[in-house]
């Protein structure tokens, strides 16, 4: 099976977070057909351990949404083609070609369950390349962290003509206060609102539920919110600011992943740059405004971590998600060169 064949099979196999088993089987079959030992662990991750000079790892899961799988004008369309089955297939192919260790992890898009299990269940490798779309000629060295929480508030029910704010108003006002607090905070040489996004704390409500309770006695509201944290900002910093904004209701913190920023002078970054140059590219470095499993690995393991993968990240989660197949081929070449260097070949 060629790397492109593996990519097509993976993209054609749905694997929304929590439902990755069939796609995991595609990967296990690929490794076994190549003479490698592979299995699915207790978390659902695909494990193919070998030379731990580098662990090549990406995620098997995708966000929901159907896109007809097809090839047009040298591009493969389909959910997950960019995020992150392109990087995933490229890493699997490079692992088979070089003998480097591989892991395909689950639930990166939701809970990072797979990455959390991996760091608790295996020895630390010498280096990690985390698979996410960076473009075939770029290396991502930085990710913001993520802090998630749920704000809840309730008020007595009453006629909508009354002037007192109800729970829905309290919840919307709370979001506005929190956003204003971070917009006003200094970041670098200026306010956060004028700072580059990577250097700012951003506030994003991701779900809202509100209205009259079933018993008719209360109005209730709940807002799920995610905060993205730049390097140098801790979860405690954000929590303190939010506490100052919370005059009604309660806030429960549910998840925290610290930011990560790697040096461009690590062996893993150097090996990826060498691979890009070898494939005819001029390497660049990226800082990404989201959060990935690279944050989990960098926090748990004392080894160099960088992120790389073919694909245009502007198409992550998009209704027109697609990957350029020539760029995918170059990504396989880059990862093969990098893994050879890191494994001492």
Tens of pLDDT, residue by residue over 46-83, are: 999 999 999 999 999 999 999 999 999 999 999 999 99
State the pLDDT confidence band at 187, using cuts at 50, 70 and 90: low
pLDDT band at 151 (very low <50, low <70, confident <90, very high): very high
Helix (DSSP H) and strand (DSSP E) numbers for the chain: 9, 18
The predicted pLDDT at position 157 comes to 84
- Does residue 108 carry a catalytic annotation? yes
Angle at 234 between CA 232 and CA 238, to 5 degrees: 120
Distance separating alpha carbons of residues 100 and 65, to the nearest angstrom: 33
Banded model confidence at residue 186, pLDDT cuts 50, 70, 90:
low
pLDDT, tens digit (0-9, with 9 covering 90-100), for 15-38: 999 999 999 999 999 999 999 999
pLDDT at residue number 192: 45
In sequence order, which residues have a C-beta less than 8 Å from that of residue 29 and are 6 or more positions away?
Answer: none
What pLDDT score does 28 carry?
Answer: 98
C-alpha separations of 27 from 51, 156, 245, 331 in Å = 18, 54, 47, 18
> What Cα–Cα distance (Å) separates residue 67 from each residue in 26, 76, 320?
20, 11, 7
Split at pLDDT 50, 70, 90, the class of 195 is low
* Extents of the domains making up the chain: 3-144+259-342, 145-257
Give 293-344 pLDDT, tens digit per residue.
999 999 999 999 999 999 999 999 999 999 999 999 999 999 999 999 999 8
Give the pLDDT of residue 189. Answer: 41
pLDDT at 190: 40
Spot the catalytic one: 51, 83, 107, 108.
108
**CATH 3.40.630.10 is right for the domain spanning 3-144+259-342:** yes
Q: Is 61 noted as a catalytic residue in this protein?
A: yes
SS3 state at 281:
coil
Q: What is the pLDDT of residue 3?
A: 98
Q: What is the chain's length?
A: 345
Write down the mean pLDDT value for the chain.
94
For residue range 209-259, what is the model confidence (pLDDT) as tens digits?
A: 999 998 888 899 999 999 999 999 999 999 999 999 998 899 999 999 999
Of the pLDDT bands very low, low, confident and very high (cuts 50, 70, 90), residue 164 is confident
Segment 183-199 shows an average pLDDT of 62
Which CATH architecture describes the domain 145-257?
2-Layer Sandwich (3.30)
């Amino acid at each position: 099976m060629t790397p492109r064949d593996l990519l097509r099979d993976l993209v054609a196999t749905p694997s929304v977070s929590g439902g990755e088993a069939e796609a995991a089987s595609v990967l296990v079959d690929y490794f076994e057909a190549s003479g490698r030992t592979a299995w699915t662990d207790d978390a659902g991750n695909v494990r193919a351990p070998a030379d731990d000079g580098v662990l090549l790892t990406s995620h098997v899961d995708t966000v929901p949404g159907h896109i007809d799988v097809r090839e047009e004008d040298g591009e493969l369309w389909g959910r997950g083609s960019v995020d992150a089955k392109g990087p995933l297939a490229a890493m699997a192919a490079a692992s088979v070609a070089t003998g480097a260790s591989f892991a395909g992890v689950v639930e990166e898009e939701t809970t990072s369950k797979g990455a959390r299990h991996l760091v608790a269940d295996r020895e630390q490798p010498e280096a990690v390349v985390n698979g996410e779309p960076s473009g075939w000629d770029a290396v991502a060295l930085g990710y913001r962290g993520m802090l998630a929480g749920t704000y809840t508030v309730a008020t007595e029910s009453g006629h909508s003509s009354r002037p007192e704010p109800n729970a829905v108003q309290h919840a919307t006002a709370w979001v506005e206060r929190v956003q204003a607090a971070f917009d006003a905070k200094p970041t670098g040489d200026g306010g956060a609102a004028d700072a580059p996004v990577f250097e700012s704390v951003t506030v994003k409500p991701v779900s809202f539920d509100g209205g009259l309770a079933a018993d008719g006695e209360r109005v209730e509201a709940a807002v799920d919110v995610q905060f993205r944290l730049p390097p140098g900002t801790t979860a405690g910093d954000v929590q303190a600011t939010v506490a100052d904004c919370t005059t009604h209701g309660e806030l429960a913190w549910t998840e925290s992943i610290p930011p990560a920023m790697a040096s461009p002078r690590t062996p893993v970054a150097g090996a990826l740059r060498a691979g890009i140059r070898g494939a005819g590219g001029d390497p660049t470095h990226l800082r990404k405004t989201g959060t990935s499993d690279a944050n989990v690995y960098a926090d748990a393991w004392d080894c160099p971590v960088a992120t790389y993968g073919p694909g245009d990240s502007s198409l992550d989660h998009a209704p027109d998600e697609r990957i350029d197949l020539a760029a995918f081929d170059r990504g396989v070449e880059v990862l093969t060169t990098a893994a050879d260097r890191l494994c001492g070949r």
